[in-house]
Amino acid sequence: MLETGESAAVPNPLAVAKSVAIEMADQPEQVGPFVETIDMGDHVMDFRFVCGITGYEGWQWSVTLFHDEETGRWTVNESSLIPTAAALRPPAWVPWRQRLEPTDLSVTDSIGTDPDDVRLEDGFRKTEPVAVDDSGDRSDAVADTTDTADTADENPDVADAVQEFDLSRRRVLSALGRSQTAKRWYEGPHGPKSLSTKTADGNLCANCGFFVQLKGELSVMFGVCANKWSPDDGRVVSVDHGCGEHSQIDPPEPTHLWIQSKPAYDDLHIDVIAQSPSEERSRIELIERLRANGIRSTKGLIILTSQL
């Protein structure tokens, strides 16, 4: 920018910004028409131009200028390429832990469980009653005694529930964990929307003899298949699932490998079959000839019939 005292020409910020963009580009044709000006505040303006670089469709040249109102000068702050909403960009980065799918893991892989996993909560811990201090207030002691008595009355039921559902583990499923599990199972391949359920002809797991029901809240909707001939054997299935191997289905009737046709008789032709020559031993033939001549043999003795 040139100045000649008081007659110095006022610079055109748009021309300054475009000249900077052309200087940054490899070729002048890569800087397209002017798009807009964005006021960044604090006398900073952002000038946008269409980007003509191949492969950068939807991008814009961005040149920010600072305007010094006292001197009237425009100073270049920064120039860069800015993507717009129409620009082709890679998807947002997702942490590897969130990208993993259950099918991505093998039997030798382990990702562990976070200590603050929302799917889990602390299990049941047995607590001992706290002794009442004699120096304490009598009313507090009475209240504590009452609470202890109520807890003692509830202990048998609590103990039975803990034992039945095995709640004494360090961590157990939380309400959110059970809800997520039920949703995943119900919408999976062993729920009511599977192809096998549609072809089961109304024979559902709810009334199947091989259906082993779960415990707790999940027992309302799920159980385990115990039919070794079922493709769902050993898997969790919903009560409205079907596999086609229901216990009430009768085995199919056995079918022949082929259809036996009726015998066909030919009454118009007679086939003469030549008899093959005898291949019996000479001793047998001799006995037969002797018998034909009235001679019979017994234990090596030859007896003439005429001598009897």
- Summarize pLDDT for 211-261 with one digit per residue, the tens: 999 988 899 999 999 999 999 999 999 999 999 999 999 888 887 778 888
The pLDDT value recorded for residue 302 is 58
Task: Tell me which of 3.10.310, 1.20.58, 3.10.450, 2.60.40 is the CATH number of domain 5-83.
Answer: 3.10.450
pLDDT along the chain (308 residues), means of 10: 47 86 88 88 89 88 88 86 87 86 85 88 73 52 45 66 80 92 94 92 93 92 95 95 92 81 83 73 73 67 54
CA distance 55 to 8: 42
Q: DSSP labels for 56-120? A: -TTEEEEEEEEEETTTTEEEEEEEEEEE-TTS--PPPP--HHHH--GGG--TT------TT-TTE
Contact 45, 37 (CB under 8 A): yes
Please state, in angstroms and as integers, the Cα–Cα distance from residue 167 to each residue in 125, 163, 174, 212, following that order: 9, 7, 11, 21
Count CA atoms within 13 Å of residue 280 on its CB side.
7
The pLDDT value recorded for residue 98 is 84
CA dihedral (231, 232, 238, 244) positive or negative: positive
Would the pTM of this model clear 0.85, i.e. be above it?
Answer: no
**Alpha helix ranges (H) inside 187-231:** 195-198
**For the chain, what are the domain ranges?**
5-83, 141-172, 175-238
The pLDDT value recorded for residue 233 is 95
The pLDDT value recorded for residue 92 is 86
What three-state secondary structure class fits 154? Answer: helix
